[in-house]
Amino acid sequence: MLGHGQKLLKQSRKQLEAFLGRGGSSQELLKQNRKNLKAFLPNFEGAEAIYKEAHYPISRVRVHNIRLSCEGVRADIQAVPTPGLATCRSWPFFVVWAVLSINETEWSAAYPVNCHFYFDPDVIQQVVEVGASWPEGESKLLHFMKLNLCLRESSSKARAKRLARTCKRSSPTQRVARGC
């Protein structure tokens, strides 16, 4: 009988095969993710993040003990109790390279659970502020919707700032390629 981790790995391999069937290059994807994580690893180890999982409340977490392997990324996720945000349990995190997207301030995994880690300090601060301002008597659903809207808006602003910095440092040819 397969353990839970082995089942996830088997499912992820099937997803990668489906991706390859659509003309994607697994080697390019894996190389880019590994390169990004290695480059940004010092920023992520021990860092706080806002954790968002599909259809679940937003939490504040700390990421520890990041380990890279040929299969993917493992880390220990510790909950950081924060007023107005969900307090989740701490848990071991694992995701295969094939479904992980990494940049300097975010991790995003599409499978087996659609989840995101937002490491940008401005995003964390804005979400924490909205969480702390939960008025007494406001429904959990309305509060959840406000937090999601705040997270979407603040992460979009952070991405726009990152793109502007990247475009500023780019050559004219790179600017055209990146849509600057």
Q: How confident is the model at residue 82 (pLDDT cuts 50, 70, 90)?
A: very high
* Per-residue pLDDT, 179: 62
Domain that includes residue 56, residue range? 4-178
Kindly report the number of other CB atoms within 10 A of residue 118's CB atom. 23
* Per-residue pLDDT, 178: 58
* Per-residue pLDDT, 5: 45
Give the number of domains in the chain. Answer: 1
* Per-residue pLDDT, 8: 45
b/e for 144-166, b at 16 or more Cβ within 10 A?
eebbeebbeebbeebeeeeeeee
